[in-house]
């Protein structure tokens, strides 16, 4: 390790043991809050990845929102780069409707392949249950504020696009990445029942152990119920604000810049953003030695 003390650099040798943990999955339900502002019950959710493992926790958040008569929602996807399509459909159902007759998204393949699939295989409808079988608690909203940044991508954009035909979707923050494609994972499992070589988690033991490589080809794009899928340039925000690294604020506090702007879109009041001024002192010239450091 390297230490800087009394304006001097010292290099100290230290051995540490790293313990590997397999199967560790981050809980994407990072933070949820309810604010009462101008007689509005505003729900706020920071959701950092579309992961099916935590759908029951996500559903519980919406149960709490519903039990507390939340009538407005701010969904924070600024750090969400995507994940499961099914999980995006489930979250959309919690926000808008659990009517399984409504189309959330449709796969669009090339002309050669599109006609080979049934509508059931191509369509992702809104859902009334989680993958675990729990009834979805839907807020039935007609407007949502979504916080976005340049890293907001894939399933996050699928959610934005899928909700747009049904409700007023207001984006606050920065332009999203623009990933509208979907892919397949191909492995050495020629007997895969759905499609030869198509990866299925339940068939990991059938994959040829002598072949350590797989393929992940882009095979199509997702369109919403209105047929729109052309967002490769990203979704432009309705209210632009790019995070300032030296004035990030605290996530979940109503004066955090992006949350404050989002709240203002619901209340009609001016955003009340709290900024701190950071003063940096000149660093001693010995810092130049840092440029010659190597990672070992």
User: Is 203 domain-assigned?
Assistant: no
Q: How confident is the model at residue 4 (pLDDT cuts 50, 70, 90)?
A: low
User: Is 240 domain-assigned?
Assistant: yes
User: Is 225 domain-assigned?
Assistant: yes
Query: What residues pair up with 45 in beta bridges, in sequence order?
Result: 32, 75
Q: How confident is the model at residue 270 (pLDDT cuts 50, 70, 90)?
A: low
Q: How many angstroms separate the CA atoms of 50 and 265, rounded? A: 25
Q: Are strands 72-76 and 103-108 parallel, antiparallel or unpaired?
A: unpaired
Note the pLDDT of residue 147: 98
User: Is 142 domain-assigned?
Assistant: yes
Beta strands in 103-192 (DSSP E): 103-108, 123-125, 143-148, 168-173, 181-183
User: Is 285 domain-assigned?
Assistant: yes
Residue with the larger pLDDT of the pair 2 and 50: 50
Contact 154, 216 (CB under 8 A): no
Query: What residues pair up with 123 in beta bridges, in sequence order?
Result: 106
Residue 30 pLDDT exceeds 50? yes
Half-sphere exposure of 224 (CA within 13 A, CB side): 19
User: Is 190 domain-assigned?
Assistant: no
Domain harbouring 233, CATH code = 3.90.226.10
The domain tally of the chain equals: 1
Q: What is the mean pLDDT of residues 233-257?
A: 93
Burial 248-262 (b: 16+ CB within 10 A, else e): ebebeebebbbbbbb
Note the pLDDT of residue 143: 98
Digit-coded pLDDT (tens) for 120-178: 999 999 999 999 999 999 999 999 999 999 999 999 999 999 999 999 999 999 999 99
User: Is 40 domain-assigned?
Assistant: yes
For 58, other C-beta atoms within 10 Å of its C-beta total 25
Residue 282 pLDDT exceeds 90? no
Digit-coded pLDDT (tens) for 91-131: 999 999 999 999 999 999 999 999 999 999 999 999 999 99
3-state SS, residue 107: strand
Q: How confident is the model at residue 1 (pLDDT cuts 50, 70, 90)?
A: low
Please name the residues in contact with 224: beta carbons below 8 A apart, sequence gap of 6 or more. Answer: 103, 104, 105, 106, 161, 162, 164, 165
Note the pLDDT of residue 287: 45
- Rg of the Cα atoms in the chain: 23
Q: How far is CA 167 from CA 44, 79, 97, 162, in A?
A: 18, 23, 11, 10
Contact 144, 170 (CB under 8 A): yes
The domain in which residue 121 lies consists of 2-11+24-182+220-292
What share of the chain has pLDDT > 90, as a percent? 73
User: Is 191 domain-assigned?
Assistant: no
Q: Are strands 218-223 and 181-183 parallel, antiparallel or unpaired?
A: antiparallel
């Amino acid at each position: 390790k390297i230490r800087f003390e009394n304006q001097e650099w010292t290099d100290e040798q230290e051995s540490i043991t790293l313990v590997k943990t397999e199967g560790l999955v981050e809980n994407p339900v990072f933070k949820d809050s309810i604010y009462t502002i101008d007689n509005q019950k505003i729900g706020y959710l920071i959701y950092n990845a579309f992961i099916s493992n935590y759908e029951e926790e996500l559903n519980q958040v919406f149960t709490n929102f519903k039990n507390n008569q939340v009538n407005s929602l701010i969904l924070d996807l600024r750090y969400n780069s995507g994940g499961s399509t099914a999980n995006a459909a489930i979250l959309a159902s919690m926000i808008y409707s659990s009517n399984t007759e409504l189309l959330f998204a449709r796969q669009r393949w090339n002309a050669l392949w599109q006609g080979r699939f049934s509508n059931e295989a191509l369509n992702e409808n809104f859902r009334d249950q989680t993958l675990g079988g729990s009834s979805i608690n839907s807020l039935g909203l007609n407007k949502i504020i979504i916080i976005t940044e340049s890293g907001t991508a894939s399933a996050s954009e699928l959610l934005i696009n899928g909700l747009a035909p049904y409700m007023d979707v207001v984006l606050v923050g920065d332009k999203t990445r623009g990933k509208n494609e979907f892919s397949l994972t191909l492995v050495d499992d020629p007997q895969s029942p759905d499609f030869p070589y198509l990866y299925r988690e339940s068939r990991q033991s059938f994959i040829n152990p002598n072949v350590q490589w797989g393929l992940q080809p882009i095979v199509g794009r997702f369109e919403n119920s209105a047929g729109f899928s052309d967002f490769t340039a990203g979704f432009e925000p309705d209210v632009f604000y790019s995070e300032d690294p030296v004035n990030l604020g605290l996530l979940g506090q109503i004066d955090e810049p992006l949350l404050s702007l989002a709240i203002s879109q619901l209340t009609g009041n001016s955003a009340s953003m709290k900024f701190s001024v950071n003063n940096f002192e000149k660093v001693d010239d010995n810092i130049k030695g840092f440029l010659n450091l190597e990672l070992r």
